[in-house]
Amino acid sequence: MQLETFLHALTSYFVIIDPIGAAVIFHGLSDGEERRYAIRMAIRATVISIAIVLVFGFCGEALLTRLGITIDALRVSGGLLLFYTAFNMITRQGGSGYSKSGYTLDISVFPMSIPLIAGPGCLTLTILLFSQVEGRVALLSLVPAVLLIYLLTLAMLLAARYLKKVIGKTGDDILQRLLGVILAALAIQFIADGIRGIAG
C-alpha cells in the first residue's frame, strides 16, 4: 500500500462525501419511520454506494466515453435530482416525506446513494484518483480508502436518529429547512458547473 495515496484518497473522499452532513440529511429523510427501516436504508445506501464507486473507479472513464456521456452531463443530472430532494425537505410538513398511503419508499438509491453519498462529485473524484494509478496500486491504496470512508459514513447514518434528541423538534425542523436551502444551493452549483463544462 502507498500510504500517501491512501491518505490523499481518504481525505478527499471525506470532504466530498461529508459523512456527518449525510447523516443529518438521512435523519431528516427517515424521521418518523421505524428504526428497522432506517437501519435497512443506511446499510443498503452504503453497499450500493460502495459498488457504484468501485465500478466507476475501475470502469467509469471507459464506460462513460463509450456511451458518449461526460462528467459534466452527470453533474447536471445529479444536480437536478439533488434540487428535487432539497425542495421536498424545505416544503414538506413533518414526517420523512417519502411515505404515502402507508407505503414507505426506498430512499437508499435515491436520494441517499445518488446523488448524496455517491453523487457526481464523488464519481468525478473516483475517476480522477483511479486514472492516476495502476491496477495494483489502486487495489492496495484506493479500495481500502473507499471501504473505510463508507464504513465511517454507515456509522454516522446509524447514529443519525440520536441527533433529534440533541437538537429537539423545533431545532430539527429548522435544521431540515436550512439543510434543504444548502442542498438547493449545492444542486444549483452542480448544474452550473456541468453547464459551464459542457459549454466550455
pLDDT, tens only, 110-167: 889 988 899 888 888 888 788 788 778 778 899 999 999 999 999 999 998 786 667 6
Residue 102 pLDDT grade (very low, low, confident, very high; cuts 50, 70, 90)? very low
Three-class SS state of 99: strand
What is the predicted pLDDT for the residue at 93?
59
Neighbour count for residue 62 (Cβ, 10 Å):
10
Backbone phi, psi, residue 98, to 5°: -120, 20
Q: Residue 21, SS3?
A: helix
- Report residue 8's pLDDT band, with 50, 70 and 90 as the boundaries: confident
Q: Rounded distance, CA 121 to CA 123, Å?
A: 6
Are 194 and 79 spatial neighbours (Cβ–Cβ below 8 Å)? yes
CB 17 within 8 Å of CB 122? yes
